[in-house]
């Protein structure tokens, strides 16, 4: 991947599902730190240890399953809060992701939802509401351990 970067065929190279110990191992031999680490990140699991480490090392936290693969839609606290902001639950959670400086990567097969998921820049979540969402740990599943899960 470093050779591809050097050749100019890619402008950025990155990794996925790496935890701190994996990145530390990679740093021993890599000449270039990954620009991105794509991880399972949503209100149900913020993976504080690796996201902090990524940020300290200039690695962008790209959030996969930012909607908990659909599981976050059933959470009453998020439904109530989204109503208060006049936004959908998807927009609320994606805005939360952006305000944490994550890069959310939502998936939808519906054009109108793809458009909805990009309309995130006309509102801002208060500090208090960010903390409320941060407190939802575990409500819609947790990241799996990359050392043991079969991806
Ligand atoms: N690196 C990795 O190991 C890894 C692992 C898992 C996933 N990913 C990537 O991460 C991306 C997203 O993850 P994901 O698919 O697990 O989950 P996600 O984006 O958290 O959730 C997708 C689900 O939410 C629904 N949805 C999306 N927008 C919606 C909206 N505005 N309103 C209502 N429902 C909405 C989708 O349904 P519809 O499609 O029917 O709209 C789908 O069921 C994918 O591109 C995937 O490739 C990477």
- Of all residues in the chain, the percent with pLDDT exceeding 70 is 99
Across 88-116, average pLDDT: 98
Which residue's CA lies nearest to atom 41 of ligand 1?
108
Task: Report whether residue 68 contacts ligand 1, using a CB cutoff of 6 Å.
Answer: yes
Ligand 1 atom closest to the CA of 117, numbered from 1 = 31
Q: What band does 150 get if pLDDT is binned at 50, 70 and 90? A: confident
Residue partners of 94: CB distance under 8 A and separation at least 6: 66, 67, 104, 106, 117, 120
What pLDDT score was predicted for residue 77?
Answer: 96
Ligand 1 atom closest to the CA of 72, numbered from 1 = 20
Residue of 93, 97, 107 best suited for mutating to test ligand 1, as the one with most atoms within 8 Å of CB: 107
CATH number of 2-134: 3.20.20.100
Across 112-136, average pLDDT: 98
Q: CA 89, CA 9: separation in Å to the nearest integer?
A: 38
Instruction: Please state whether beta strands 60-64 and 36-40 pair in parallel, antiparallel, or not at all (unpaired).
Output: parallel
Which residue's CA lies nearest to atom 43 of ligand 1?
70
What pLDDT score was predicted for residue 64?
Answer: 98
Which H or E run includes 38? strand 36-40
What pLDDT score was predicted for residue 144?
Answer: 93
Are the C-beta atoms of 92 and 119 separated by less than 8 Å? no
Tell me the two tokens of residue 5.
């970067």
What pLDDT score was predicted for residue 100?
Answer: 98
Ligand 1 atom closest to the CA of 39, numbered from 1 = 1
What pLDDT score was predicted for residue 93?
Answer: 98
Centre of ligand 1 from the C-alpha of residue 74, in Å: 15
What residue ranges do the domains of the chain occupy? 2-134
Across 110-128, average pLDDT: 98
């Amino acid at each position: 991947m470093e050779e591809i970067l050097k050749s100019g065929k890619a402008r950025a190279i990155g990794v996925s599902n790496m935890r701190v110990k994996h990145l530390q191992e990679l740093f021993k031999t890599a000449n270039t730190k990954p620009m991105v680490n794509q991880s399972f990140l949503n209100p149900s699991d913020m993976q504080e240890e690796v996201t902090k480490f990524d940020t300290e090392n200039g690695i962008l936290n790209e959030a996969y399953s930012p909607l908990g693969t659909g599981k976050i839609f059933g959470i009453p606290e998020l439904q109530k809060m989204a109503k208060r902001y006049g936004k959908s639950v998807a927009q609320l959670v994606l805005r939360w992701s952006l305000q944490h400086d994550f890069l959310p990567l939502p998936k939808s097969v519906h054009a109108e939802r793809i458009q909805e998921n990009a309309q995130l820049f006309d509102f801002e979540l208060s500090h208090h509401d960010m903390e409320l969402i941060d407190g939802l740990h575990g409500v819609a599943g947790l990241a799996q351990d990359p050392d043991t899960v079969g991806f």
